[in-house]
Amino acid sequence: MGSDGTLCVKYPPRDSTLKVIGFFGHNVTLPCRYDTQTHGVLSFCWGRGMVPRSKCSDTIVSSLDGALLFRESPRYQLRGSVTDGDVSLTILGAQWSDAGVYGCRLEIPGWFNDEKVNTHLEMEEEILTTSVTKNVEVGDSTLDIFAIKTAVLYLYL
């Protein structure tokens, strides 16, 4: 606590929890980033479930110094610039079964330095909106403005 009673929090936290909402059948990205200027290119892993004390639980993607070592499925993609610290996980064509907790571990050298990001993925049905367009042919371009306003008003009734 600060002298004025405010709570001081180190930013960004070493361990964080996020919530992401994905839409069934669409790609969804779970964020995980770090500063390469501070740490260089790091090893990392993604797993299903909360990040444990070491490594990742149920590993789905792993990397050694930025080079991909393992990917459980081609649906799991790293579309960011890994060498720039963007190791966000994109799940292609997300399914209901993809809902749950995912953990990203950034392996920072030294004891107990790793950063962990736990992400709760919730899946929802996409709400579709449709647009209806009517085409009106006007044969005589000399229509007066009243006739045009009437035609437009008719389309919206």
The pLDDT of residue 141 is 45
Q: What is the pTM of this model?
A: 0.72
**Could you give the CA distance from residue 157 to residue 125 in angstroms, rounded to a whole number?**
31
CATH of residue 63's domain is 2.60.40.10
Give the type of residue at 106: L
Q: How many residues does the chain have?
A: 157
The pLDDT of residue 37 is 93
The pLDDT of residue 131 is 59
Domain total of the chain: 1
Evaluate whether residue 45 is within a structural domain. Answer: yes
pLDDT in tens, 60-81: 999 999 899 999 999 999 999 9
Evaluate whether residue 1 is within a structural domain. Answer: no
